[in-house]
């Protein structure tokens, strides 16, 4: 009879311990506001502390250089977090900022390319949407990307072969 009371009491302790562990867990940070995202753009566009000639974003994108390693990139992300948290209401970890920045690049680059495609189309130009403040801020930091417009002042070389 004693054995059954011991197993019953130990099973009642189990849910209590898991409840305490759940309460000790970190709370989820609030979502990034548009102001937070613009602040992140400003920090990523500011000069890198390891190389003042380029921005934080440009330093983190670099590859194939002996002085750019995963360790130095982690240091840059920590500096980005310090700069961001100095101006932000909600403190963020460097890993959260890294994930948000990469997501912002992906989303806003697509918005920018859709915008460029729509303004180059012929026809009803009144349906062209405006770029958001955030998209403009991200594109200012990362640059417009490769252009598909061709060479300025260039001509069609296929015509040269037929004129001969």
Residue 19 in domain = no
Confirm if 50 and 72 have CB atoms less than 8 A apart: yes
> What is the residue range of 112's domain?
34-120+130-142
Residue 159 in domain = no
Neighbouring residues of 107: CB distance < 8 A, sequence distance ≥ 6:
none
- CB neighbours of residue 163 within 10 Å: 5
Number of structural domains found in the chain: 1
164 pLDDT above the threshold of 60: no
The per-residue pLDDT for range 139-162, each reduced to its tens digit, is: 999 998 775 455 555 555 666 666
Residue 41 in domain = yes
Residue 57 in domain = yes
Query: Residue 88: phi, psi to the nearest 5?
Result: -100, 155
Residue 38 in domain = yes
- DSSP letters of 15-77? HHHHHHHHHHSPPPPPPPPHHHHHHHHHHHHSBPSS-TTSBHHHHHH--S-TT--HHHHHHHH
* Residue 85 to residue 131: CA distance in whole angstroms: 27
The per-residue pLDDT for range 81-118, each reduced to its tens digit, is: 999 999 999 999 999 999 999 999 999 999 999 888 88
Residue 114 in domain = yes
Residue 137 in domain = yes
Average of pLDDT values for 19-26? 62
Residue 150 in domain = no
Q: To the nearest 10°, report the CA torsion of 85, 91, 93, 96.
A: -100
């Amino acid at each position: 009879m004693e054995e059954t009371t011991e197993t019953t009491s130990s099973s009642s302790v189990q849910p209590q311990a898991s409840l305490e562990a759940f309460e000790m867990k970190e709370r989820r940070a609030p979502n990034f506001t548009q102001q937070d995202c613009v602040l992140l753009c400003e920090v990523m566009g500011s000069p890198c502390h390891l190389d003042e000639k380029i921005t934080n974003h440009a330093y983190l994108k670099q590859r194939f250089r002996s002085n750019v390693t995963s360790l130095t990139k982690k240091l840059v992300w920590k500096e980005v977090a310090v700069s961001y948290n100095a101006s932000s209401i909600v403190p963020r970890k460097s890993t959260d900022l890294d994930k948000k920045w990469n997501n912002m690049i992906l989303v806003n680059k697509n918005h920018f390319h859709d915008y460029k495609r729509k303004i180059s189309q012929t026809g009803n130009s009144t349906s062209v949407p405006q770029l958001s403040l955030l998209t403009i801020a991200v594109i200012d930091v990362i640059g417009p990307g490769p252009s598909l417009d061709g060479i300025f002042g260039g001509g069609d070389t296929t015509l040269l072969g037929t004129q001969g």
